[in-house]
Amino acid sequence: MKNKKKWVIFGIVLLFLGAAGIGIYLGTPSIPKENKKQEAPVQSVASITGYIEEMTARSRFLGVLAPKNKVEVYLDEGRESNGLLVEAGAQVEQGTALASYDNSLLALDREQAVLDMEQEELTIDSLESQVRILQNDRKQAHDSEKGSYDLQILDLNTQIEQARYNLGLKEKEILRLDAKLEVTQVVSPCTGIVTEIGADERSLTIVSEGAYELTFYVGEGELKDFQTGMTVAAEDRDGAASCQGVINRIEAGAPEGNEAKAEGMKETSYPVHAVIENAEGFFPGQHVYAELIKPGESLGTSGGTAILLPESYIIGGEGKPYVWAVDKEGKLEKRKVTLGAYNDRHSAYEIKEGLSYTDYLAWPMDSLREGQKAAFGE
């Protein structure tokens, strides 16, 4: 009987201790996990401005020089012609007009591109006006509502950046059309005699006097920048000698079979032919670098693209301007920038120092802090 009582008492003690342990466990407040700091969304300067950083040097293409006794000259595909200006048997000099283009359709395309560009500008103005309204409303809002305003403003700024990107594309399209409109005639790339005219009057054959033909290969993406009558430069690989010629033929048809000759260029490449009247310092079969000389440019000139940063990203105005940039560790920092001229058209400042197109920026918000981790877009 006594043993039975002992076991009962022992069981009661165990139950008591167990209940006490559970109570202690449940009564102990849990240690809160450290909240993850809010990451700041960032975008590249190239994306914000709508421009991708351009190479300071022109694109160069590998080509080869060969003697050319017969020169074939073709009018550009897709361009209307007013007709040929010479007949078979005519003696021509380098630069003699062989045919003229009808640029009326190109002019219409340019007018449409200008209208599209103006529409993008109106879209940007409207979106920027909405941003200013939200910014003013945010100042009067309660702290708990400011986050909602920040998201709306961020969304509008994303739309503005897309519109600026579209605007940049239209500007480049207009520049390409302007370059084509400047070429109103097809000229002879060499001195010689016109011996044959194509049945469709869109090609001529000239027996040249000591001319060279430069053949080089252009990728599909760059082909739209080339047309007959444009000037190209040839330079040897050491840069010791150079000469210029005129494009007389572009094989824009099937590119098959060009890969082996392109020597490392894109798989899809197209042959471009130019006639060089004076190739002094070069020899037949020599491999050279070719580059396009656009209207108004000369060999050796090039220009970079200035960074035009929207003023909404710049804090401090023209006094001590800075931006929220991402450092090497992926965290935010206040980075000083040097401002250039203000661009009314884009509501942006030229950035002379402090940024490159590969940098990332956060749109200014009250919640940003130095050392805050950046959230890069996909």
Residue closest to 313 by CA, chosen among 364, 242, 353: 364
pLDDT at 329 over 80: yes
Which residues have CB under 8 Å from 64's CB, separation 6+?
214, 215, 216, 285, 286, 287, 288
pLDDT at 300 over 50: no
CA quadruple 66, 68, 72, 73: dihedral positive or negative? positive
Rounded Cα distance, 57 and 302, in Å:
6
**What SS3 class is residue 187?**
strand
- Higher pLDDT: 240 or 138? It is 138
pLDDT at 57 over 50: no
- Average pLDDT of the residues in 31-50: 68
Q: Report how far apart the first and last C-alpha atoms of the chain are (Å, whole number).
A: 78
The position carrying tokens 């050279």 is 288
> Are the C-beta atoms of 193 and 91 separated by less than 8 Å?
yes
- Average pLDDT of the residues in 235-241: 75
- Average pLDDT of the residues in 298-313: 65
> Are the C-beta atoms of 167 and 159 separated by less than 8 Å?
no
Q: Where residue 134 falls among pLDDT bands split at 50, 70, 90?
A: very high
What's the pLDDT at 49?
78
Provide the mean pLDDT of the chain: 79
